[in-house]
Amino acid sequence: MTATDAGPAVLVGAAGAAGAVVADLCVRDGLGFVLLLHRRKDGFVAEELCFAAREDNGTWPLPEHLSGSCVGFDPADRRKNETLLCGRPLMPFGESETLLCTGRRQDEDDGHEMLRFHTLLVSREVDHLDIEDLSPDAAPGAGRIRKSLRSRVALLALYPGERVAVRPMAREGDCLRALGEPYELTGTAPGPA
Protein backbone atom coordinates (compact mmCIF):
# COMPACT_ATOMS: atom_id res chain seq x y z
CA MET A 1 0.00 0.00 0.00
CA THR A 2 1.11 3.53 -0.59
CA ALA A 3 0.40 6.63 1.43
CA THR A 4 -1.85 9.37 0.12
CA ASP A 5 -0.31 12.41 -1.52
CA ALA A 6 -1.35 16.02 -2.08
CA GLY A 7 -2.97 15.37 -5.47
CA PRO A 8 -6.48 14.54 -4.27
CA ALA A 9 -7.09 18.11 -3.11
CA VAL A 10 -8.04 18.98 -6.69
CA LEU A 11 -10.21 15.88 -6.81
CA VAL A 12 -11.95 16.87 -3.57
CA GLY A 13 -12.75 20.32 -4.86
CA ALA A 14 -14.33 18.89 -7.98
CA ALA A 15 -16.19 16.06 -6.27
CA GLY A 16 -17.52 18.02 -3.32
CA ALA A 17 -19.20 20.69 -5.42
CA ALA A 18 -22.83 19.43 -5.42
CA GLY A 19 -23.70 19.91 -1.73
CA ALA A 20 -22.16 16.62 -0.73
CA VAL A 21 -19.60 16.33 2.06
CA VAL A 22 -16.29 14.61 1.41
CA ALA A 23 -16.17 11.89 4.08
CA ASP A 24 -12.82 10.44 3.04
CA LEU A 25 -10.18 10.04 0.34
CA CYS A 26 -8.06 7.09 -0.65
CA VAL A 27 -5.24 7.27 -3.20
CA ARG A 28 -3.74 4.06 -4.56
CA ASP A 29 -0.95 4.53 -7.06
CA GLY A 30 -2.49 6.77 -9.76
CA LEU A 31 -6.11 6.19 -8.75
CA GLY A 32 -7.96 8.56 -6.43
CA PHE A 33 -11.19 7.60 -4.66
CA VAL A 34 -13.59 9.97 -2.92
CA LEU A 35 -16.41 8.92 -0.60
CA LEU A 36 -19.16 11.54 -0.56
CA LEU A 37 -22.06 11.72 1.89
CA HIS A 38 -25.27 13.65 1.25
CA ARG A 39 -28.82 13.77 2.50
CA ARG A 40 -31.42 12.41 0.09
CA LYS A 41 -34.81 14.05 -0.47
CA ASP A 42 -36.40 11.42 1.81
CA GLY A 43 -34.09 12.50 4.65
CA PHE A 44 -31.82 9.45 4.64
CA VAL A 45 -28.05 9.77 4.28
CA ALA A 46 -26.53 8.29 1.12
CA GLU A 47 -22.95 7.60 0.10
CA GLU A 48 -21.46 8.03 -3.36
CA LEU A 49 -18.13 6.55 -4.37
CA CYS A 50 -16.27 8.41 -7.13
CA PHE A 51 -12.86 7.93 -8.70
CA ALA A 52 -10.37 9.54 -11.06
CA ALA A 53 -7.11 8.41 -12.63
CA ARG A 54 -4.23 10.86 -12.32
CA GLU A 55 -3.15 12.26 -15.69
CA ASP A 56 0.43 11.83 -16.94
CA ASN A 57 1.09 15.50 -16.09
CA GLY A 58 0.05 14.90 -12.45
CA THR A 59 -3.34 16.62 -12.58
CA TRP A 60 -6.64 15.02 -11.57
CA PRO A 61 -9.61 15.08 -13.98
CA LEU A 62 -13.18 15.42 -12.77
CA PRO A 63 -14.13 12.25 -10.90
CA GLU A 64 -16.50 9.63 -12.26
CA HIS A 65 -19.28 8.04 -10.23
CA LEU A 66 -18.71 4.36 -9.34
CA SER A 67 -21.51 3.46 -6.96
CA GLY A 68 -23.90 4.75 -4.34
CA SER A 69 -26.24 3.50 -1.64
CA CYS A 70 -28.28 4.49 1.39
CA VAL A 71 -26.10 4.41 4.50
CA GLY A 72 -28.80 3.47 7.04
CA PHE A 73 -27.59 5.87 9.73
CA ASP A 74 -26.34 9.45 9.95
CA PRO A 75 -22.52 9.51 10.31
CA ALA A 76 -22.79 13.09 11.65
CA ASP A 77 -24.95 12.03 14.63
CA ARG A 78 -22.32 11.47 17.34
CA ARG A 79 -24.65 10.01 19.95
CA LYS A 80 -26.20 7.43 17.61
CA ASN A 81 -22.81 6.53 16.19
CA GLU A 82 -21.39 5.81 19.63
CA THR A 83 -24.45 3.62 20.29
CA LEU A 84 -23.81 1.75 17.02
CA LEU A 85 -20.15 1.28 17.91
CA CYS A 86 -21.06 -0.26 21.33
CA GLY A 87 -17.72 0.81 22.80
CA ARG A 88 -15.69 -0.42 19.82
CA PRO A 89 -13.19 2.02 18.27
CA LEU A 90 -14.31 1.21 14.73
CA MET A 91 -16.92 -0.79 12.89
CA PRO A 92 -17.00 -1.91 9.25
CA PHE A 93 -20.34 -0.87 7.75
CA GLY A 94 -19.92 -1.11 4.01
CA GLU A 95 -18.15 -3.15 1.38
CA SER A 96 -18.37 -3.07 -2.40
CA GLU A 97 -16.42 -4.31 -5.41
CA THR A 98 -15.83 -2.63 -8.75
CA LEU A 99 -13.94 -3.68 -11.87
CA LEU A 100 -11.57 -0.86 -12.85
CA CYS A 101 -8.69 -0.34 -15.22
CA THR A 102 -5.83 0.09 -12.78
CA GLY A 103 -3.06 -0.04 -15.35
CA ARG A 104 -1.07 -2.34 -13.06
CA ARG A 105 -1.60 -5.55 -15.03
CA GLN A 106 -1.09 -5.86 -18.76
CA ASP A 107 -2.53 -9.26 -19.57
CA GLU A 108 -5.69 -10.76 -21.00
CA ASP A 109 -7.75 -8.48 -18.74
CA ASP A 110 -6.25 -5.37 -20.38
CA GLY A 111 -5.28 -3.87 -17.03
CA HIS A 112 -8.66 -4.36 -15.34
CA GLU A 113 -8.82 -5.54 -11.74
CA MET A 114 -11.61 -6.08 -9.23
CA LEU A 115 -11.05 -3.62 -6.37
CA ARG A 116 -12.76 -4.01 -3.01
CA PHE A 117 -13.79 -0.94 -1.03
CA HIS A 118 -14.29 -0.98 2.74
CA THR A 119 -16.02 1.80 4.68
CA LEU A 120 -15.55 2.06 8.42
CA LEU A 121 -17.34 4.04 11.13
CA VAL A 122 -14.71 5.38 13.53
CA SER A 123 -15.16 6.45 17.16
CA ARG A 124 -14.41 10.01 18.31
CA GLU A 125 -11.52 8.61 20.37
CA VAL A 126 -9.62 7.59 17.24
CA ASP A 127 -6.98 10.06 16.04
CA HIS A 128 -5.88 8.08 12.96
CA LEU A 129 -5.72 4.56 11.54
CA ASP A 130 -2.49 2.58 11.48
CA ILE A 131 -2.53 0.27 8.43
CA GLU A 132 -0.13 -2.65 8.07
CA ASP A 133 0.15 -4.56 4.80
CA LEU A 134 -0.10 -8.30 5.53
CA SER A 135 -0.31 -9.35 1.88
CA PRO A 136 1.80 -12.35 0.86
CA ASP A 137 3.64 -10.23 -1.74
CA ALA A 138 4.10 -7.15 0.48
CA ALA A 139 7.54 -5.58 0.29
CA PRO A 140 9.72 -6.70 3.21
CA GLY A 141 9.93 -3.98 5.85
CA ALA A 142 7.27 -1.91 4.12
CA GLY A 143 6.16 -0.68 7.51
CA ARG A 144 2.86 0.86 8.38
CA ILE A 145 0.85 3.65 6.87
CA ARG A 146 -0.77 6.32 8.98
CA LYS A 147 -4.20 7.23 7.60
CA SER A 148 -5.48 10.59 8.81
CA LEU A 149 -9.22 10.96 9.30
CA ARG A 150 -11.27 13.63 7.50
CA SER A 151 -14.44 12.57 9.30
CA ARG A 152 -15.77 9.66 11.38
CA VAL A 153 -16.04 7.59 8.18
CA ALA A 154 -12.94 6.02 6.61
CA LEU A 155 -12.53 4.54 3.11
CA LEU A 156 -10.00 1.88 2.11
CA ALA A 157 -9.50 0.53 -1.42
CA LEU A 158 -7.75 -2.83 -1.74
CA TYR A 159 -6.34 -4.52 -4.82
CA PRO A 160 -6.85 -8.25 -5.45
CA GLY A 161 -4.88 -10.41 -3.02
CA GLU A 162 -4.20 -7.61 -0.55
CA ARG A 163 -4.71 -8.13 3.15
CA VAL A 164 -4.29 -5.37 5.73
CA ALA A 165 -4.55 -4.96 9.49
CA VAL A 166 -6.22 -1.70 10.52
CA ARG A 167 -5.45 -0.45 14.03
CA PRO A 168 -7.40 2.49 15.44
CA MET A 169 -4.98 4.77 17.29
CA ALA A 170 -5.64 7.35 20.01
CA ARG A 171 -3.42 10.30 20.88
CA GLU A 172 -2.71 11.10 24.51
CA GLY A 173 -0.48 14.16 24.57
CA ASP A 174 2.66 13.20 22.65
CA CYS A 175 1.96 9.47 22.97
CA LEU A 176 -0.08 7.15 20.77
CA ARG A 177 -1.86 4.01 21.89
CA ALA A 178 -3.76 1.32 20.04
CA LEU A 179 -7.48 1.08 20.76
CA GLY A 180 -8.47 -2.57 20.83
CA GLU A 181 -7.39 -5.29 18.46
CA PRO A 182 -6.61 -4.68 14.77
CA TYR A 183 -9.27 -5.39 12.16
CA GLU A 184 -8.25 -7.46 9.17
CA LEU A 185 -9.59 -6.45 5.76
CA THR A 186 -9.01 -8.21 2.44
CA GLY A 187 -9.17 -7.42 -1.23
CA THR A 188 -10.78 -9.72 -3.76
CA ALA A 189 -9.18 -13.07 -4.62
CA PRO A 190 -6.22 -12.67 -6.98
CA GLY A 191 -6.61 -13.91 -10.52
CA PRO A 192 -8.45 -13.00 -13.69
CA ALA A 193 -11.11 -10.31 -13.26
Task: Calculate ∠ Cα 71-116-100, nearest 5°.
Answer: 110
At residue 80, what is the residue type?
K
- Round to whole Å and give the CA distance between 80 and 76: 9
- pTM value is 0.85
Q: Which pLDDT tens digits describe the chain residue by residue (193 residues)?
A: 443 443 343 334 334 444 688 999 999 988 999 999 998 888 888 999 999 999 999 999 998 999 998 888 888 888 998 999 999 999 999 999 999 988 776 666 678 899 999 999 999 999 999 999 999 888 776 778 999 999 999 999 999 999 999 999 999 888 999 998 999 999 999 876 5
Helix, coil or strand: residue 27: strand
